Structure 1
Amino acid sequence: MEATTVWFVAIAFLWTGYFFLEGFDFGVGALLPVLGRDDTERRVLLNAIGPVWDGNEVWFIVAGAGTFAAFPEWYATLFSGFYLPLLAILLALIVRGVAFEYRGKRDEPHWRRRWDRAIFWGSVVPAFVWGVIFANLSRGVALDARHEYVGTLTDLLNPYALLGGLTTLTLFVLHGAVFLALKTAGDVRARAVRIARIAVVAAIAVGGTFLLITQLQHGKPVTWATVAVAAAGLVGAAVAVARGRDGWAFIGTGAAIVFAVVTLFVALFPDVMPSTITAANSLTTTNAASSPYTLKIMTISAVVFTPLVVLYQGWTYWVFRRRIDASHIPQPTRRTEPEPTKDPEPAR
């Protein structure tokens, strides 16, 4: 297998891992105002992802860095042509990360409500915009002979791309609801299960439509299999949610996300960014790649360090595997002023 193909698979693996892991983070953030009826319950939701959310975002950083190093032409065209959507994602992720850290700095309700809104929008915006971006990659964009994007922002907001955004949003909300059903207990879990039963219907309708259109317009014969597995994952998640099998439901939503992303990348190959003007302007794994020596050094590094990172993150999930509920959330202690001391009676 050529080095360029190896790194295309590696980039696809990184993006798939990112959407699988960060997907339920986004879903939990989007469900924060729905499932958390008071501050204690909202803290349950945030504590469910608290130990892992920043580690999940590392997959995005590594995917971007790997794209830059292995396919610099792809990186340059993607980050310049999709500048505004990617800027919206970056700002949302920054605000979301700050909100996680600053929410608990003060006990005032209005302070925490503001950061809760930041977490909500910092989760919803990336969940939607990532779908818009990857749908446009699958569909193709206007690239000229210099591999520069010559379209406009409104061109990126076409109906197919917007459907892709709704697909990732509904999938991530479902993924987050199922994760909370698996990770929490008590009233929060009961409401998460009810939300999951509604979200899975929306995910099947929206996601199924998007995948079918993608397969008919941009797919290959082999991607019928990946589309079928993604659809089976959603149907299996619906059955598991109805039967209260939280673990199987999470496997189902995870499989749906993984194979939906795999479908997009397999349909894309060997292009990395198709041109809608003419196929000659498209970026491919060949004309967008770094030098063979660079790819060789990167491959050695990836073989050494990737298993270590995966093992470490797996250990983190194992350590924090237990369910949590409101009883695990310490209540704030009220500060009491010391009673004033009485002056001693004067000696007689």
Structure 2
Amino acid sequence: MEKKVKTRVFFIVPPEVHLLDVSGPIQVFYEASEYGAKVELVFLAIDGNDSINSSAGIGLNKLEPFRNHTLNENDFIFIPGLDARLVFDEAFKGSLKPFFEWLQIQKNNGAKICSVCTGAYLLAYSGVLKNMECTTHWKYTGDFKKRFPETTIHEDRLFVKDGSIYSSAGISSGIDLALFIIEELFGPFFATKIAKEIVIFLRRTEDDPQLSVFLQYRNHIENRIHKVQDHLAQHLSNKQKIEDLADLVFMSPRNLTRLFKKTTGITIGEYHDKLRVERAVQLLSNGQKVNAVSDLCGLSSNQLRSLLKKYSDILPSTLS
């Protein structure tokens, strides 16, 4: 975790908010702060009230006026979903004109804007989604297309990133999006810690934004395999023997090999290779020499070249 500048995350709390849309991402960033990340959480009212009732009936209070804050490129705004009755209410939409104008200003200031579920409608109403790509809850993608033809809506996606705009499909995908942002800010090791802390399965499809391999194959709760994965990721420069890995989790090499494949879907060797490839790509992209990179990945120069050639179909074009 190298980021030293404080990240402020502003959560917009509209009336009739869906609780998990807002509380899920809040928990992710809260845990990140508990683990030492420089994250500040701020809760803003979308109207003039400092308290609201959620769609489930639970009240939320001590909300600050959005007008009191000016954001910059280090800040994020999360806009959660809210009851559809309000989303499509013209009077409610009209009352939010000051908020929409404020949102445009923050976008121009460089702030990153994130939506969860039907929160995408508020982004679209404000104009920040014009000529952008996004997603929303599957029930509303058809309607969204008709209302906002200048925005490309993606179906069957957990979340979409387009420049400084992030959107997610809703409910638990807001948590997936928050973890993705944590990875962007603080790196894959740190994001893995947070995912494990909140016991979240990292669900991804082939069309989702590609996560680091350091986060892939972690959608399980088998602690012994997590421990082996952590060890491999944190000791890439060292040679790894199956016997040593097995001793680490008090298993026989045969049982560890079998359990790893059953749990992750790939072998220990394949997983180790993928870790090395991603690390090598990062280092080479930063201008490191092949000899130095191979040492950091626990390989000879020839072994590294062979490994990169084997995975040439997934490498960036500049390295393949």
Category of TM-score, reference length = shorter chain? under 0.3
Choose between structure 1 and 2: higher strand proportion.
2
The answer to which structure, 1 or 2, has the higher relative contact order (CA under 8 A, 6+ apart) is 1
Larger radius of gyration: 1
- TM-score, normalised with respect to structure 2: 0.28
TM-score between the two structures when normalised by the length of structure 1: 0.26
